[in-house]
């Protein structure tokens, strides 16, 4: 099957819509790649399908690699546009409780953000490790007590 020029433009529109919907630069590269191939097939309709697909893949993968290499979040900048650190910033971190965990609930301070924690009751001064983060609001963390000196 040979893809015609208008098919590439439809794919371009599809990728542009989802680029804005998900606010993801990687999809922008796919939309750019399909637009380039749409223009090439408009200019040269006999361009083989293999070359068309190679161009799309090269532009998309190259663009994603450039984006991932040069557009990185700065440490401490937060993992999201709302200023909260990402889940990777919390999980595995060890904290010393300033306030006790009572009835399974407590609070810790992480980079100036109050995180609600849930875990086994513990006294102030106990070392706890974050083992998971609530996927909805990212301010509720599951913790466990650190046993022994094997804490990281």
For 22-68, how does the pLDDT look when each residue is reduced to its tens digit (9 = 90+)?
A: 888 888 999 999 999 999 999 999 999 999 999 999 999 999 999 88
Task: Report percent pLDDT > 90 for the chain.
Answer: 38
Sequence-separated contacts (24+) of 143-147 with Cβ below 8 Å? 143/95, 143/101, 143/117, 143/118, 143/119, 144/119, 144/120, 145/119, 145/120, 146/94
Q: Domain of 17?
A: 5-70
Q: Are residues 66 and 93 in the same domain?
A: no
Which of 70, 100, 127 is the last residue before a domain boundary? 70
The model's pLDDT over 94-111, given as tens digits with 9 standing for 90+, comes to: 888 888 999 988 888 877
Q: What pTM did the predictor assign?
A: 0.50
Same domain, 21 and 57: yes
pLDDT at residue 82, rounded to an integer: 52
Residue 102 tokens, joined: 């009572």
The mean pLDDT value of the chain amounts to: 83
Per-residue confidence band for 142, with pLDDT thresholds at 50, 70 and 90 = confident
Domains identified in the chain, total number: 2
DSSP helix/strand/coil, 137? coil
Binned at pLDDT 50, 70 and 90, residue 146 comes out as confident
């Amino acid at each position: 099957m040979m893809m015609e020029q208008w098919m590439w433009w439809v794919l371009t529109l599809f990728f542009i819509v989802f680029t804005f919907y998900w606010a993801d630069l990687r999809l922008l590269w796919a939309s750019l790649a399909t637009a380039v191939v749409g223009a090439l097939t408009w200019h040269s309709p006999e361009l083989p399908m293999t070359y068309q697909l190679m161009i799309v893949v090269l532009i998309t993968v190259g663009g994603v690699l450039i984006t991932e290499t040069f557009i990185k979040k700065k440490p401490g900048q937060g993992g999201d546009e709302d200023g909260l650190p990402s889940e990777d910033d919390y999980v595995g971190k060890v904290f010393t409780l300033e306030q006790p965990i009572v009835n399974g609930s407590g609070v810790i301070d992480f980079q100036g953000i109050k995180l609600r924690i849930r875990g086994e009751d513990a006294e102030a001064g106990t070392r706890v490790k974050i083992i998971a983060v609530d996927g909805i609001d990212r301010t509720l963390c599951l913790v466990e007590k650190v046993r022994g000196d094997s804490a990281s």
